[in-house]
Each structure stands twice: as structure tokens, then as C-alpha cells.
Amino acid sequence: MKKLLNTLYITTPDRYISLDGENVVISAERQEIARVPLHNLERIMLFGGAGASPALMGKCVSESRELVFMSRSGKFLARVEGEVNGNVLLRRKQYRVADKPQESLKIARNIIAAKLYNSRWVLERTIRDHSMRIDTELFKSKSLYLKNAVDNAMKAENIDILRGIEGEAASVYFSVFDDMILQQKDDFKFNGRNRRPPLDRVNAMLSFAYSLCTSMCTSALEAVGLDAYVGFMHTDRPGRRSLALDLLEEFRAVMCDRFVLTMINKRTISPDHFEMREDGAVLLNDDGRRAFLTAWQNRKDEEIKHPFLEEKVQWGMIPYTQALLLSRYLRDDLDSYPPFLWK
């Protein structure tokens, strides 16, 4: 099993990173302020920074360490990568399956069924843990809807029907998302999903978490030899990591949504961690990104028993295990793709 190493997050806009021997040097106004041994890192993510030296880029490429550039709001901008070393036979099989609607549908159904299943169990966990603070009957009705939606997703006859089922189920799930915010209610309100840009604090956090998880999925897929840009549900579009977005669907509720709710309900994040822009956009500020990323890294280090492999793995390794299982299915080592089902 691949080892989960640390991710270095550079969140302050004016920081420049370079290479000195085997160390990543972080500088501000040409003055060194910190250095980190490169061998401890799996990934470096630079949020709105001043840039990175060519030597560091080359070193990351040669050692297969990921260097990702993000906007300050967490939007993906670019990745530094070298020669593609993916298994050509695996990728050819991926492309053939992606070109066949019914073959793609088999994978997409499992992914979306898992998304709805996991969303349902987020509601069920809330019922179990906070029954005195929520409308239990309302949550049970939404949970039942999602349970039926799982069955309907597995029976979807084409991708458009599947997208319709997923879209309606997502609306049902998010209709009670605000009820799962149990602390700081006046400052963290959720009136529905919005993005590009996010218009409230909750959506700013959700978008940031989804961006981080998408990068994890991209790395995981490429690590096992798959093309992260050719998906089975999300259609091809220049620059869009369609397969990474497919894989993300399984993790939205359990890795991202629950994380955001925990940050709010445990008061790890506060209104002071956000900035409001004139155009209405709401973004995490520097302190907010640091608090968010520290908690995110800690979350990645926690262990869970994988439902299919029946082995303990770190949360940060779950995208990799799923990418591995997907590659095994495409190689005909498995009869079907086993999605991640959390409970």
C-alpha cells in the first residue's frame, strides 16, 4: 500500500518556494522564513503564492512529488508534472470504456449510488447523535428518500436519467444541511449550494474542501496509471479533470461535508476567518485557510476500516484505494467497481 506523506500548504500570497539541497525553502521578500525537508513531502500546494523556482519544479517532477498551484480561494490553477508514466494498456482500456455509454454507465451507477448512500448515512449519523436538537421525523423522511434514490440509481437506464436522480437527491440532502449546523447558527447559515463565487461562509468552506479532495483524487488516479481527465459520468472538457470529479462524488458527503460541519460545530472556524468582497464573494482569509488546512491534514491522518478491503487505512489514502480498485476493475480483475460505502 502506498504510504501517506505530508502535504506542505503555502497559504500566504507573497511566499516564494525554492530548493536548497534536499530542502524546500520558503521566502518572503527574498528573506528565508522556513525550510522543510523534501523527503517528508508527498505534495506541495501553493495558494496564491509568488511562485516556485525551476529547480524545485524539476526536483518534484524527478521524484514524482506533486506541486500544485491554487488561487487564494482554492480554485485549481495548474500542476507541475513530468513525463506520463501511466500504464498504456490500462489507459487504452479506460478510453474504450469511456467511449461506450453502457460500459461507462456501469461505473457511474456505482459511483452515484455510493454518493447517495454516503449522504444518507450522514443524515442517519445526525439522527443518532443529535436527535434532541433536530427534527427527527424530517431527517428520517429525507433519509428514506435517499435510500430509495440509491435503488433508483442502480436501475438507471442511461446517464441522463442517472444525473436526474443524483440532482434531485442532492437537493433533498442539502435541504436539511442547515439543520446539521448546531453551533454558531447566526454566523453560519446555509440556504442552498452556490459557487463561482461562494456567497456565504458555509459554501466557501464546501468549495474549498471539494477543491482539496479533487486534487487528492487527481493524484490518486494518476498514481495508479489512469487518466484523470477522461471520466465516465462527467463529460470531456478541455482542462477538466473529469474522472477525478467522478471519483470525488463518493467522498463529498463523508470527507468534505462532514468535515465542514465538524469545523463549524466544534468552533474550529469562526467568522473572523473569512473575508467579504465587494462582488458578494465570501472567501477564507489567510488565518482561515491555515486553520482549515491544519484540521484537514489531521483528518487525513485518521484511520478507518475500508469497507471492501477490510483493512485499516488513513482517510487520506481512501481516494488512492478507490483509484486502485477502479484500475483493477478496468483490468478485469474485479466483476464490478466497488465504490466506497461509509457507515
What pLDDT does residue 64 have?
Answer: 77
Are both 232 and 147 inside the same structural domain?
A: yes
Q: Which of 246, 201, 208, 316 is nearest to 97 (CA)?
A: 246
What pLDDT does residue 86 have?
Answer: 59
User: What residues contact residue 203 under an 8 Å CB cut-off, 6+ apart?
Assistant: 190, 193, 194, 195, 282
342, part of any domain:
no
What pLDDT does residue 137 have?
Answer: 95
What pLDDT does residue 311 have?
Answer: 84
Assigned C-alpha cell, 154? 442502480
Percentage of the chain with pLDDT > 90?
55
C-beta of residue 303 within 8 angstroms of C-beta of residue 314 = yes
335, part of any domain:
no
Q: Count how many residues are written for the chain.
A: 343
What pLDDT does residue 85 have?
Answer: 58
Are both 36 and 110 inside the same structural domain?
A: no
Are both 41 and 147 inside the same structural domain?
A: no
Instruction: Indicate the number of domains in the chain.
Output: 2
What pLDDT does residue 73 have?
Answer: 65
Tell me which of 56, 80, 104 is where a domain ends: 80
* Helix (H), strand (E), coil (C) string for 214-251: HHHHHHHHHHCCCCCCCCCCCCCCCCCCHHHHHHHCCC
Quick count: other Cβ atoms within 10 Å of Cβ 8? 22
For the segment 228-247, what is each residue's pLDDT rounded down to a tens digit? 999 999 988 777 899 999 99
For 148, the domain range is 88-330
Q: Which of 143, 90, 91 is nearest to 120 (CA)?
A: 143
For the segment 183-236, what is each residue's pLDDT rounded down to a tens digit? 999 999 998 888 788 999 999 999 999 999 998 999 889 878 899 999 999 988
Tell me which of 45, 80, 115 is where a domain ends: 80
CATH of the domain at 311: 1.20.120.920
Angle, vertex CA 101, rays to CA 96 and CA 103, nearest 5: 60
Tell me which of 27, 56, 80 is where a domain ends: 80
Distance CA 211, CA 233 (A): 18
- Residue segments in the chain with a per-residue pLDDT below the cut of 70: 1-5, 49-50, 73-74, 81-86
Read off the pTM: 0.83
Distance CA 312, CA 342 (A): 13
Largest CA distance in the chain: 61
